[in-house]
Each structure stands twice: as C-alpha cells, then as structure tokens.
C-alpha cells in the first residue's frame, strides 16, 4: 500500500457528516477569532434585515446573497492562507507578507464590489 497516499489523506474524513461538522468548526473558529469576519457577518445581518424590509425582488435577493456569500467565503480562504503562512514560517519573509496581503486584497476587492452592488440595489429604494 502506498504510504505517501495514506499520509496525505490522514486528515481527510471518510464520513460526510463529520466533514460538514469540520467545515462548521472552521466557520465558527473564524467568526470567534477574526475581527474582519465578525464585521462581515454583522454587516450581512443588517443587509439581510434591510432586504426583508425593502422587499427585494428575486433577482435582487440573488445579487445580495452572492455578495454576502462571496465575501464570507473569501474571508474564510484569506484566514486559511494566513494560518498556512504562519505554520510554514514564524519569521518575517517578504513572500509570506505578499501571500497574506494578496489574500486580503482578494477579500477587499470582493467587499468593495459587494458595497457597489448594495448601493445599486438599495439606494433607489431608499430615495
């Protein structure tokens, strides 16, 4: 039996329910430990409440949900990249900084896009 394959898969769950539990643990951990995730989720809750109050159309709901889901998903990826970089090196390295900055930049770009989507959808309804 190939030991490399077994070594690479030792963290992989064979149970689908356990995989979902692990994913929820990752989300929960990020929500507890990461300030930016708490900000994203707080703003998302406000946006969802406003969406109900302003009775968005189905298409508007889709854009809002993709904006929220995208930002939260990218924040999770950003956090994972930060953890991996920290695992690989505790010392300052310009490439480690670049990796972290680039991942944060991806989240920032999507967050800005989400704000623009929100303005396009909400501003006419508020005015």
Catalytically active residues are: 75
- The secondary structure of residue 127, as a DSSP letter, is -
Token reading at 82: 């930060």
Helix axis angle, 94-126 relative to 35-53, nearest 10°? Answer: 20
Decide: helix, strand or coil at residue 9: coil
Exposed, middle or buried: residue 78 (CB in 10 Å: 0-12, 13-18, 19+)? buried
Spatial neighbors of 62 by CB under 8 A, at least 6 apart, are none
């Amino acid at each position: 039996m190939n030991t490399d394959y077994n070594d690479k898969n030792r963290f992989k769950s064979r149970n689908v329910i356990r995989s979902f539990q692990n994913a929820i643990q990752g989300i929960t951990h990020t929500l507890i430990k990461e300030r930016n995730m708490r900000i994203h989720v707080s703003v998302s809750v406000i946006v969802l409440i406003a969406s109900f109050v302003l009775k968005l159309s189905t298409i508007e709901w889709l854009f809002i949900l993709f904006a929220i889901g995208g930002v939260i998903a990218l924040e999770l990826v950003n956090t994972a990249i930060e953890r991996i970089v920290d695992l690989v090196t505790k010392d300052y390295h310009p490439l480690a900084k670049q990796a972290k900055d680039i991942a944060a930049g991806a989240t920032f770009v999507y967050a800005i896009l989400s704000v623009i989507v929100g303005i396009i959808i909400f501003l006419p309804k508020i005015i």
